């Protein structure tokens, strides 16, 4: 058999497992075409995208339990990536449904076709990122993900703060991806391969220079840290989250962050994986260089800075932005231990974090539709003006704090268990103290809503609620938040079955 | 004198540092984007040089091609965003676009 033929056979064998990604690309193209063809119906791209992504979900369910390397080791399909892909799909569909009722987006008779098709584009980038095991694929998928997010952050382009957000996003984003690709070139130079598994083999063989590998790894960490919005690579987060349309803010804070964590965990696990026989700490492959300490410091910095700066925020979007930085810090705690228990807790946490964070942003969006503001001072008295929404918001905020009986408590509980399991008592203590601090600023929101008297001017005193359809979505999210706080074993089983990565 | 791997690495190191310096000091958004290109191209030089002096390993050449393509795509998006900034602010001075802070 000639070489060409073996490549062709490999290609044909791989395409079947690549079907979900192909379905997304088809959705993307069809959504754009139909948006151009049927100019009368405004939301046609949205409906096509949602239907296409649901179909993708069905195709993706065929990949459950499969562990396989595709396209000559460019990407892999394994339970770990499939878990994240489902997470991205659910998030994207929820965000699209939420966007349908977002007033700011539909103001000024704006065309929204590109908005929805670009969300599909981001989903494609995240799908690739979750299964990338080659330096080129990692860089390529991070760029696919970023390019659409830059545009979406400034989608409401005549609003000044949105265009400022997209400018800051594009500058910080391309800087960090530039540093990352330089780090990749160093890794390539030291080992002469772009395949992460082969780099690992080269490191284990002991015949390579370790210095460029360590520096390259640190530079790649900059790129991932930017996606995860870990301190000190978080500078873009508050500005972009405040300026961008609120649906995009919640999307970036859940899906984009999850994608960053997915590739971060897989990359470092693959890169420094010891031979399968040992279950000792995988961070210690390179002796004399303490990756574990670096990630631990990153985690402590991330949650502390996130929580403490959130204390004096006056804008709800910005406050939730800092809270999402803090949550990245909690999740990084479990990355420090990097055991199977730790990765299970991360997967579990992301499911719960998706539900409660999307819920909180969604209620903030419904408020903004009516009162036209995200400022904390405009939330005064909302508990009387719109009791239903205010109670829903409180449920999500309690869950974000991590109090029982909500999903947030279960998520944090498992992360702390994983951390204590490996003996990192000091890390767990800092995490718990940070949760206490976070209660203070979340409480600021519901204190403003319920405990402060309504302003006297009659103009801003009307009672309101949300339309039935958005309200029912908020109900479902709140119900899930409480349900998963009491009964979570299906999600836990799913997460436990999803920690296997392709080797 | 024979031109070796070290020379290329020094050039790429200089380019990378100049890019970082440019991003930190330049006020004009276009200049910031140009500095970004320097960083990406320094990575390209690394890829090609390692490939050339590592026995013509093709993966580096391919990586450089990918970086060039993505740099072009990124600049297209970034220029559109800068254009939009110009329409809103009538200047592209990065230092003065700071309504969001705190």
Task: Tell me what ipTM this predicted complex has.
Answer: 0.95
Q: Is residue B102 part of a domain?
A: no
Which of B10, B15, B36, B43 is most worth mutating to test chain A (most A CB atoms within 10 A of its CB)? B43
User: Residue with structure tokens 């930085």?
Assistant: A325
The percentage of chain A sitting over the pLDDT mark of 90, rounded to a whole number, equals: 57
Does the structure show a pLDDT above 50 at A69? yes
**Domain assignment of residue B101, yes or no:** no
CATH of the domain at B27: 1.10.287.3510
CA A99 to chain centre: 18
Domain that holds residue B13: 5-96
Question: Which residue in the set B54, B77, B88 is minimally distant from A147, CB to CB?
Answer: B77
Distance from C-alpha of A400 to C-alpha of A438, rounded to nearest angstrom: 9
Predicted local distance difference test score (pLDDT) of residue A278? 45
CB contact under 8 A, B80 and A151: yes
Q: Span A38-47, mean pLDDT?
A: 87
- Residue contact A163–B59, C-beta within 8 A: no
Q: Is B50 on the interface with A (CB under 8 A)?
A: yes
Find, among A234, A201, A217, A223, the residue nearest to A321 by Cα. A234
Rounded distance, CA A116 to CA A109, Å?
A: 16
Asked if the Cβ–Cβ distance from B46 to A185 is below 8 Å, we say yes
Token duo for residue A310:
């959130």
Q: Give me the residue label for tokens 């997010």.
A: A149
Does A423 have pLDDT greater than 80?
yes
pLDDT number for residue A340: 85
Does residue A1 surpass a pLDDT of 70?
A: no
What is the Cα–Cα distance from B56 to A432, expressed in whole angstroms? 53
Which candidate from B32, B42, B55 shows the least CB-CB separation from A171? B32
Judge whether B72 is closer than 8 Å to chain A, CB to CB. Answer: no
Q: Quote the distance between the C-alpha of residue A280 and its chain's center.
A: 29
Q: A315 pairs with which residues across the strands?
A: A375
Residue A5 has pLDDT above 50, yes or no: yes
A87 pLDDT higher than 90: yes
Question: Is any Cβ of chain A less than 8 angstroms from the Cβ of B15?
Answer: no
A147, exposed or middle or buried, with CB in 10 Å at 0-12, 13-18, 19+?
Answer: buried
Res A53: pLDDT: 95
Could you state, in order of their start, the residue ranges of all structural domains in chain A? 293-503
Asked if residue B34 belongs to a domain, the reply is: yes
Closest CA to A122 of A308, A254, A269: A254
Q: What is the mean pLDDT of residues A406-426?
A: 91
Alpha-carbon distance A489 to nearest alpha carbon in chain B (angstroms): 41
State both tokens at A88. Answer: 């991205």
pLDDT in tens, A458-501: 556 677 888 889 999 999 999 999 999 999 999 999 989 888 77
Give yes or no for residue A279 having a pLDDT over 60: no
A274 band by pLDDT with thresholds 50, 70 and 90: low
Question: Does residue B11 sit within a domain?
Answer: yes
More confident residue, A420 or A13: A420
> Which of B50, B85, B101 has its CB closest to that of A189?
B50
pLDDT averaged over chain A? 88
Q: Which residue of B has its CA nearest to A143?
A: B70
Is it the case that residue A375 has pLDDT exceeding 50? yes
Cβ-Cβ contacts under 8 Å, B16 against chain A: 182
Q: Which of B47, B94, B99 sits opposite A188 (nearest CB)?
A: B47
Domains of chain B: total: 1
Provide the pLDDT for residue A277: 41
Per-residue pLDDT tens digits for B43-61: 999 999 999 888 888 889 9
What's the pLDDT at B32? 93
Q: Is the dihedral of CA B81, B86, B87, B89 positive or negative?
A: positive
Residue B72 lies in a domain: yes
How close, in Å, is residue B3 to chain A by CA atoms? 17
Structure tokens at A401: 């704090």
Hey, are the CB atoms on B67 and A243 less than 8 Å from each other? Answer: no
In angstroms, the first-to-last Cα distance of chain A is 27
């Amino acid at each position: 058999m000639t070489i060409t033929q073996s490549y062709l056979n490999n290609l044909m064998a791989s395409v079947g497992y690549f079907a979900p990604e192909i379905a997304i690309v088809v959705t993307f193209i069809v959504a754009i075409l139909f948006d151009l063809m049927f100019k009368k119906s405004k939301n046609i791209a949205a409906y096509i995208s949602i239907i296409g992504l649901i179909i993708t979900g069905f195709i993706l369910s065929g990949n459950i339990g499969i562990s396989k390397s595709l396209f000559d080791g460019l990407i892999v399909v394994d339970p770990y990536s499939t878990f994240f892909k489902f997470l991205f799909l659910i998030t994207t569909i929820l965000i699209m449904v939420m966007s349908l009722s977002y007033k700011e987006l539909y103001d000024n008779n704006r065309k929204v076709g590109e908005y929805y098709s670009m969300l599909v584009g981001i989903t494609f980038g995240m799908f690739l990122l979750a299964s990338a095991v080659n330096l080129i694929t990692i860089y390529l998928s991070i760029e696919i993900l970023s390019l659409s997010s830059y545009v979406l952050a400034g989608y409401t382009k005549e609003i000044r703060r949105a265009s400022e957000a997209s400018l800051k996003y594009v500058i910080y984003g391309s800087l960090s991806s530039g540093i990352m690709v330089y780090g990749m070139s160093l890794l390539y130079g030291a080992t002469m391969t772009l395949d992460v598994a082969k780099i690992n083999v080269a490191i284990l063989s002991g015949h390579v220079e370790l210095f460029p590998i360590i520096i390259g790894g640190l530079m790649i960490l900059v790129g991932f840290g930017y996606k995860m919005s870990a301190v000190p690579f978080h500078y873009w987060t508050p500005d972009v989250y405040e300026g961008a349309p609120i649906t995009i803010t919640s999307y970036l804070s859940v899906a984009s962050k999850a994608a960053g964590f997915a590739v971060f965990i897989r990359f470092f696990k693959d890169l420094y994986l010891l031979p399968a026989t040992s279950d000792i700490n995988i961070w210690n492959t390179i002796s004399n260089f303490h990756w574990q300490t670096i990630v631990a410091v990153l985690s402590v910095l991330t949650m502390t800075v996130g929580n403490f700066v959130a204390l004096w925020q006056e804008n709800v979007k910005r406050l939730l932005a800092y809270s999402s930085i803090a949550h990245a810090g909690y999740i990084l705690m479990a990355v420090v231990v990097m055991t199977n228990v730790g990765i299970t807790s991360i997967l579990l946490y992301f499911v719960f974090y998706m539900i409660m964070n999307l819920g909180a942003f969604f209620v903030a969006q419904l408020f903004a539709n009516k009162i036209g503001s995200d400022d904390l001072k405009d939330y005064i008295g909302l508990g009387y003006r719109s009791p239903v929404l205010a109670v829903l918001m409180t449920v999500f905020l309690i869950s974000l704090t991590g109090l029982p009986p909500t999903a947030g408590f279960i998520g944090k509980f498992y992360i702390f268990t994983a951390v204590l399991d490996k003996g990192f008592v000091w890390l767990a203590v800092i995490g718990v103290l940070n949760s206490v601090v976070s209660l203070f600023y979340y409480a600021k929101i519901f204190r403003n809503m319920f405990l402060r008297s309504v302003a006297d001017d009659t103009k801003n005193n009307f009672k309101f609620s949300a339309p039935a359809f958005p309200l029912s979505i908020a109900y479902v999210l709140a119900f899930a938040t409480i349900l998963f706080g009491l009964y979570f074993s299906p999600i836990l089983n799913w997460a436990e079955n999803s920690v296997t990565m392709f080797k | 004198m024979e031109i070796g791997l070290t020379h290329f690495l020094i050039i790429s190191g200089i380019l990378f540092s100049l890019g970082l310096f440019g991003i930190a000091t330049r006020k004009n958004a276009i200049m910031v984007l140009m500095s970004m290109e320097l960083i990406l191209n320094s990575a390209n030089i690394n890829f090609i040089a390692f490939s050339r002096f590592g026995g013509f390993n093709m993966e580096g050449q391919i990586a450089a091609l990918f970086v060039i393509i993505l740099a072009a795509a990124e600049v297209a998006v970034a220029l559109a965003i800068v254009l939009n900034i110009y329409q809103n602010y009538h200047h592209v001075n990065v230092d003065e676009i700071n309504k969001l802070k705190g």
